[in-house]
Amino acid sequence: MTARLTWPLALAAGVLAVAAAARAALPLPFTTVPVSMQGLAVLLTGGLFGAGVGAGAMLAYLALGAFGAPVFAGGGSGLSHLFGPTGGYLFAFPLAAFTVGRLAERGKPGRCLAGAAAGMALLHLVGLSWLAIASGRSLSAAASGLAPVAWSDLAKVLVATLVLWPSAGVLRPRA
């Protein structure tokens, strides 16, 4: 049995999932990038609801935060978050959700793993590039902030894969 949602409900669920995941942010003293569950929520939103709705939910999330809703990490909001050091990670959310949704749409274990890994890689690629530019540091220096979160992000990829594999397509919205 499938529990398909309408696309507006799926879009809202994706926004709420990422906003809730952002509330549990753990700041690290040696980097401006907090550890949060947002990456996992982005991967699951794209994988569970599909590429289009996943990317749309992330765009709606960014718009809400830009206009003042406290949805970013630690309850932050506003353009200063979007264009600050962590803005690259935020701007990568729609791309990552779309990628996971597209790759994991058939629910095969390898595709779910590839989608989750590609989504997480995109988050880091865009986020670290932006961080390097925003901080005036080289990409290799900015990447030093990756080491402390690499294990938790690997765990997020594995959790996303284990959730998406049996449930890919189950919550895909109907037209």
- Radius of gyration from C-alpha coordinates of the chain: 15
Query: Long-range contact list for 73-81, CB < 8 A, 24+ apart?
Result: 73/22, 73/25, 73/34, 73/36, 73/38, 74/22, 74/23, 74/25, 74/27, 74/34, 75/22, 75/23
pLDDT, position 174 = 63
Q: Kindly give the confidence (pLDDT) of every residue in the chain, 175 residues in length, as a single tens digit, with 9 standing for 90 and above.
A: 455 678 889 899 999 999 999 998 777 776 666 778 999 999 999 999 999 999 999 999 999 999 999 999 888 899 998 998 889 999 999 999 999 999 998 788 899 999 999 999 999 999 988 888 887 877 676 666 677 788 889 999 999 999 998 876 666 776 5
Is residue 45 within 8 A of residue 11, CB to CB? The reply is: no
Domains and CATH numbers, the chain: 7-167 (1.10.1760.20)
Report the distance separating Cα 110 and Cα 140, nearest Å: 30
**For the whole prediction, is pTM greater than 0.75?**
yes
Residues 63-105 have pLDDT tens digits of: 999 999 999 988 889 999 899 888 999 999 999 999 999 999 8
3-class state of residue 96 by DSSP: helix
